[in-house]
Amino acid sequence: ASWRTRLLTIALALFHDVRSRARERLRVSCGLRGNGMCFSARLLREVPYDAFSVVEDLEHGLTLGRAGHRVHYVGETRVLGEMASRAQTSRSQRRRWESGRRDFARREGPALLHEGLLRRDPVLFDLGLDVLVPPLSRVAALCLAGLAAAGLGTLAAGRALFALWPWSLATLLLVAYVVRSWQVSGSGARGLLDLACAPLYALWKLTLLRRRPGESGTRWIRTTREGGTR
């Protein structure tokens, strides 16, 4: 596996495991995550699966929230699947995920917040907040930029500015979040060393936001796996 694949493994542990465990403890909806989903027959009769966008799991998770159901996380289970490890296929898959989630957030995020407030539904309101949270690479860039600006302001003023403390705390919590994700990812010492390449990984993800001429963000294209080309 390449350094990018190991970083992707850590990122998936962050998004699917660490984040979902926290959301379960907060008693909000954990959201649906691709092929790791399970529904009861009763629920399917009540809320049929009718999501067919490029982010169908996210779409149906919000449909369940609107119907008054909270998605639970069952961390002791394991769902295995083949990841796209080649650069080109991985790029195609990530571009679909990133652009699909971004477009869906623009379309549904504000409406979910409004619905949650009107219905006084904390689960629905939280789903709106969750879908509007930017990718971790952008959050990290914002934290580092804020910390750098506060640090320079402190040096210029000759004393510690108040702004230095919240930016330092935000950066520290972000580091703890990533380290915990590495811990549960099982990527070992090599994964820890690969975190030094995280800025390159973040830049790679930012390039995915640019669509090629004629490329659609709403069309689902099956990602080629190595096992399917043998």
CA dist 3 and 201 (Å) reads 9
What is the rounded end-to-end Cα distance, in angstroms, of the chain? 18
Please give, one letter per residue, the 3-state secondary structure of 5-48: HHHHHHHHHHHHHHHHHHHHHCCCCCCCCCCCCCCCHHHHHHCC
Q: What is the mean pLDDT of residues 74-95?
A: 70
pTM for this prediction: 0.77
Residues 87-143 pLDDT 10s:
565 666 667 777 778 888 899 999 999 999 999 999 999 999 999 988 888 898 899
Per-residue pLDDT band at 36 (split at 50, 70, 90): confident
Amino acid type, 226: E
Return the pLDDT at 84: 60
Per-residue pLDDT band at 3 (split at 50, 70, 90): confident
Return the pLDDT at 229: 46
Per-residue pLDDT band at 187 (split at 50, 70, 90): confident
Across 211-225, b (16+ Cβ under 10 Å) vs e yields: eeeeeebeeeeebeb
Q: Does residue 224 surpass a pLDDT of 60?
A: no
Residues 205-222 pLDDT 10s:
667 666 555 555 555 555
Percent above pLDDT 70 for the chain: 83
Return the pLDDT at 230: 45
In angstroms, the Cα distances linking 206 to 15, 96, 129, 146 are: 18, 13, 22, 19
For residue 82, with 0-12 CB atoms within 10 Å meaning exposed, 13-18 middle and 19 or more buried, which class applies? exposed
Average pLDDT score over the chain: 84
Stronger pLDDT, 101 or 227, i.e. the higher one: 101
Instruction: Average the pLDDT over each of 60-69, 169-178, 208-217 and give the range with the smallest value.
Output: 208-217
Domain chopping of the chain, boundaries: 7-213
Return the pLDDT at 179: 94
DSSP 228: G
Residue-level length of the chain? 230
Q: Does residue 223 surpass a pLDDT of 60?
A: no
